[in-house]
């Protein structure tokens, strides 16, 4: 399937609703454990299964986490807000309503600047972030061709992040979703695991003729469960709508289901409007009033966020965009990089290459954080600095790195014990070069006749003669000096 709009006369307009489960210890309105993957219906109580007379109490952490996300997305935080009932019937919802927020969300009027693949930055408006509770989960059982329900997820806290319809392509949607996901991880407020359903996404798509001001009629696709599925769903849906319009048809506002296996969207029902949910203030819960100094305190606690960090790496440290993205994607890698930069003394690009190369390989191979080994930023900087100064070769640096993983010896001690110091004494190297050149007249002539790889051979001979300890840059320099005399 084509990965973009088939008809250039049209523009895609996308708005996204991201639901993120918060990783609080307990659920939103009761003291049941908020944990994924436990035995079915083992984390339930009269409150989250809506037994008559059970009363909810709001978990303060839910408000705290949502406000943090609000700050991260540059929102206005409403310090006085409330919760509302959203009424609908579904077998996974024992109350027959969901506690959500209707007219006064906790956070609103924000934005997020996302970095696109081509290096351009795009500002996407954030309409609102509100708190709500998750529903249970239906389990469809083939054995008796019926459905069972697991209420462990009932009342797990969620934030819903609603974007403005500012997204213009599936690529922009992906950049936005990836940035939201990494911010959730940096704030440590959600596991942000799509495969466990802790982030889910509803996609609103419409199309309009270019230069047309009004938006077209939108269709919503529910619970798209991966970012690549969201991209495919957007492209498919946009092309479907264009085809309908081009054939003289009309787009109906409706909710569609994205079938990622078949790569198509299927109409489910005509889209509900807010009035269909008969929202009204939740009578069992009081007004939420958040102290303004507490809101400020939460703002002060926000760490440097991944998209801001990535821009800093690119603009201030000259790291290529792809590398910067790989560094910030992993909290340990970016922490190690920042620590190395704070120590200073070696090039940012070299540190980045080491972290994305050898350090990442070790983390993958051992399946643990680099902080669970004996490697420290100080030791890594020391190795890189020795290589940059020509005191040890790159391969000797790798030997030292291997050694410090499991040993607490100092870098200098390992270099000494293993005899890894390079010969950078030009007098010693000069003698080696002279010996090599006197034995390799043919290679000298080859080089003079334009065979440039003969130079590499000669440097290689010097390395061999010095048992790998000659500084290759110095050897090369001296070889050229003699050949060109
Ligand atoms: Zn409960």
User: What spacing in Å lies between the alpha carbon of 181 and ligand 1's midpoint?
Assistant: 27
What distance in angstroms lies between residue 226's CA and the mean position of ligand 1's atoms?
29
49 C-alpha vs ligand 1 centroid, how far in Å? Answer: 7
Is position 4 within any domain? no
Residues 61 and 127 in one domain: yes
Q: Using pLDDT thresholds of 50, 70 and 90, give the confidence band for residue 1.
A: very low
> pTM of the full predicted structure?
0.87
Q: Is the pLDDT of residue 4 over 70?
A: no
Residues 345 and 379 in one domain: yes
Percent of the chain with pLDDT over 70: 98
- The answer to whether the beta carbons of residues 383 and 400 sit under 8 Å apart is yes
Q: How many Å lie between the centroid of ligand 1 and the Cα of residue 104?
A: 26
Are residues 280 and 402 both part of a single domain? no
pLDDT of residue 5: 66
Ligand 1 center–CA 373 separation, angstroms: 40
Distance CA 86, CA 95 (A): 10
d(CA 33, ligand 1 centre) in Å: 8
The predicted model gives 190-209 an average pLDDT of 92
Give the contacts of 19 (CB within 8 A, at least 6 positions apart): 134, 158, 159, 160, 199, 200, 201, 202
Question: Residue range 127-136: average pLDDT?
Answer: 97
Note down the domain range covering 434. 426-483
**Residue 97 CA to ligand 1 centre (angstroms):** 16
Domain boundary among 273, 298, 323: 298
Q: How far is the CA of 210 from the centre of ligand 1 (A)?
A: 51
Phi-psi group of 218: left, alpha or beta (phi > 0 → left; psi -120 to 50 → alpha; rest → beta): beta
pLDDT digits (tens, 9 = 90+) for 413-468: 999 998 888 887 778 888 999 999 999 999 999 998 989 889 999 999 998 888 87
| Residue 172 neighbours by CB distance under 10 Å | 22
What is residue 355's DSSP assignment?
I
Q: What mean pLDDT comes out for the span 297-309?
A: 97
Would you call 348 helix, strand, or coil by DSSP?
Answer: helix
Mean pLDDT of 373-380: 95
Give residue 88 CA to ligand 1 midpoint distance, Å: 20
Distance from the CA of 149 to the center of ligand 1, in angstroms?
15
Measured in Å, residue 54 CA sits from the centre of ligand 1 at: 10
User: How much distance in Å is there from the Cα of 46 to the middle of ligand 1?
Assistant: 6
Distance 39 CA to ligand 1 centre (A): 14
Q: For residue 5, is it within any domain?
A: no
Same domain (yes/no): 116, 144: yes
Same domain, 340 and 412: yes
What is the distance in A from the centroid of ligand 1 to the CA of 284? 16
Q: Answer whether residue 2 is part of any domain.
A: no
> Cα(258) to centroid of ligand 1, in Å?
32
Q: From ligand 1's centre to the CA of 44, what distance in Å?
A: 4
Per-residue pLDDT for 305 more than 90? yes
- Ligand 1 center to residue 152 CA distance, Å? 8
431 in the same domain as 396:
no
pLDDT higher than 90, residue 57: yes
Q: CA 146, CA 425: separation in Å to the nearest integer?
A: 81
Q: Burial, 352: exposed, middle or buried (Cβ in 10 Å; 0-12, 13-18, 19+)?
A: buried
> Please, are residues 256 and 269 in contact by the beta-carbon 8 Å criterion?
no
Residues 113 and 32 in one domain: yes
282 and 168 within one domain: yes
Residue 176 lies in a domain: yes
Last residue of a domain, one of 249, 272, 298: 298
DSSP SS3 for 402: helix
> Closest Cα to residue 11, out of 241, 257, 182, 179?
241
- CA 409, 413, 417, 419: dihedral to nearest 10 degrees? 130
**How close is the Cα of 132 to the center of ligand 1, in Å?**
15
Distance 32 CA to ligand 1 centre (A): 4
Q: Are residues 46 and 149 in the same domain?
A: yes
What's the pLDDT score for residue 28?
98
Cα–ligand 1 centroid distance for 244 (angstroms):
47
What is the Å distance from ligand 1's center to 70 Cα? 27
What's the 45 CA to ligand 1 centre distance in angstroms?
A: 4
- 294 alpha carbon to ligand 1 midpoint, in Å? 28
Residue 193 in domain: yes
- Using the 3D structure, point to which of 396, 417, 438 is the last residue of a domain: 417
For the segment 352-378, the average pLDDT, to the nearest whole number, is 94
The tens digit of pLDDT for each residue in 178-187 reads 999 999 999 9
User: Which of 480, 479, 459 minimizes the C-alpha distance to 470?
Assistant: 459
Is there a single domain that holds both residue 36 and residue 153?
A: yes
Cα 252 to middle of ligand 1, angstroms: 40
The string over 42-81, giving b where at least 16 C-beta atoms fall within 10 Å of a residue's C-beta and e elsewhere, is: ebbbebbbbeeeeebebbebbbbbbbbbbbbbebebbeeb
Long-range contacts of the stretch 467-473 (C-beta < 8 A, 24+)? 468/393, 468/395, 468/396, 469/393, 469/419, 469/420, 469/421, 469/422, 469/423, 470/422, 470/423, 470/429, 470/432, 471/390, 471/393, 471/422, 471/423, 471/424, 471/429, 472/393, 473/390
Q: Say if strands 157-163 and 10-21 run parallel, antiparallel, or are unpaired.
A: antiparallel
Domain match, 182 and 249 both = yes
Q: Give the Å distance between the CA of 159 and the centre of ligand 1.
A: 19
Compute, in angstroms, the gap from residue 94 CA to the centroid of ligand 1. Answer: 12
DSSP line for 197-227: TSEEEEEEEEEEETT--S----EEEEEE-SH
Count of domains observed in the chain: 3
State in Å: Cα 364 to ligand 1 middle.
Answer: 38
Length of the chain: 485
Sheet holding 84-87, edge to edge: 97-100, 84-87, 280-281
Q: What is the mean pLDDT of the chain?
A: 93
| Cα-to-centroid distance, 81 and ligand 1 (Å) | 24
Q: What DSSP assignment string belongs to 227-289?
A: HHHHHHHHHHHHHHHHHHHHTT--PPPEEEEEETTTTEEEEEEEPPPGGGGT-EE-TTS--EE
Query: Cα of 327 to ligand 1 centre, how many Å?
Result: 39
Task: Give the model confidence (pLDDT) of 326-361 as tens digits.
Answer: 999 999 999 999 999 999 999 999 999 999 999 999
* 47 C-alpha to ligand 1 centroid (Å): 5
Q: Tell how far the Cα of 34 is from the centroid of ligand 1, in angstroms.
A: 9
Q: Are both 267 and 346 inside the same structural domain?
A: no
């Amino acid at each position: 399937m084509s990965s973009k709009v088939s008809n250039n006369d049209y523009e895609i307009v996308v708005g996204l609703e991201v639901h993120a489960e918060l990783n609080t210890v307990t659920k939103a309105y009761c003291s049941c454990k908020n944990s994924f993957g436990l035995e079915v219906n083992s984390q339930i109580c009269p409150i989250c299964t809506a037994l008559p007379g059970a009363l909810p109490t709001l978990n303060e952490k839910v408000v705290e986490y949502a406000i943090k996300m609000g700050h991260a997305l540059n929102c206005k935080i409403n310090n006085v807000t409330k919760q509302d009932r959203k009424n609908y019937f579904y077998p996974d919802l024992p109350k027959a309503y969901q506690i959500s927020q209707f007219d006064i969300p906790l956070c609103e009027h924000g934005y997020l600047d996302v970095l696109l693949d081509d290096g351009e930055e795009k500002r996407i408006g954030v309409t609102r972030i509100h708190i709500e509770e998750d529903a249970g989960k239906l389990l469809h059982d083939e054995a008796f061709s019926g459905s069972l329900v697991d209420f462990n997820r009932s009342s797990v806290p969620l934030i819903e992040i609603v974007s403005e319809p500012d997204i213009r392509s599936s690529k922009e949607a992906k950049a936005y979703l990836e940035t939201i996901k990494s911010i959730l991880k940096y704030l440590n407020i959600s596991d942000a695991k799509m495969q466990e359903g802790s982030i889910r996404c509803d996609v609103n798509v419409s199309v309009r003729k270019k230069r047309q001001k009004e938006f077209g009629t939108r269709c919503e696709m529910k619970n798209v469960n991966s970012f690549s599925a969201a991209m495919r769903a957007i492209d498919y849906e946009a092309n479907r709508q264009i085809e309908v319009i081009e054939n003289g048809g009309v787009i109906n506002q409706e909710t569609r289901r994205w079938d990622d296996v078949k790569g198509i969207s299927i109409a489910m029902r005509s889209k509900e409007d807010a009035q269909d949910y008969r929202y009204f203030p939740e009578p069992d819960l009081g007004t939420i009033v958040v102290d303004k100094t507490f809101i400020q305190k939460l703002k002060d606690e926000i760490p440097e966020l991944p998209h801001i960090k990535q821009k800093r790496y690119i603009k201030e440290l000259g790291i290529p965009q792809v590398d910067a993205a790989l560094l910030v994607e992993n909290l340990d890698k970016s922490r190690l990089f920042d620590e190395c930069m704070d120590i200073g003394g070696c090039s940012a690009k070299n540190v980045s290459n080491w972290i994305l190369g050898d350090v990442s390989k070790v983390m993958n191979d051992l399946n643990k954080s680099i902080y669970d080994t004996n490697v420290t930023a100080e030791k890594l900087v020391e190795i890189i600095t020795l290589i940059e100064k020509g005191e040890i070769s790159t391969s000797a640096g790798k030997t030292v790195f291997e050694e410090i993983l499991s040993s607490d010896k100092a870098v200098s001690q390992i270099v000494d014990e293993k005899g890894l110091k390079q010969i950078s004494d030009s007098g010693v190297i000069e003698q080696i070069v002279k010996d090599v050149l006197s034995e390799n007249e043919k290679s000298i002539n080859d080089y003079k006749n334009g065979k440039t790889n003969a130079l590499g051979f000669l440097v290689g001979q010097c390395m061999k003669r010095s048992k790998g300890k000659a500084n290759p840059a110095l050897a090369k320099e001296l070889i050229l000096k003699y050949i060109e005399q």
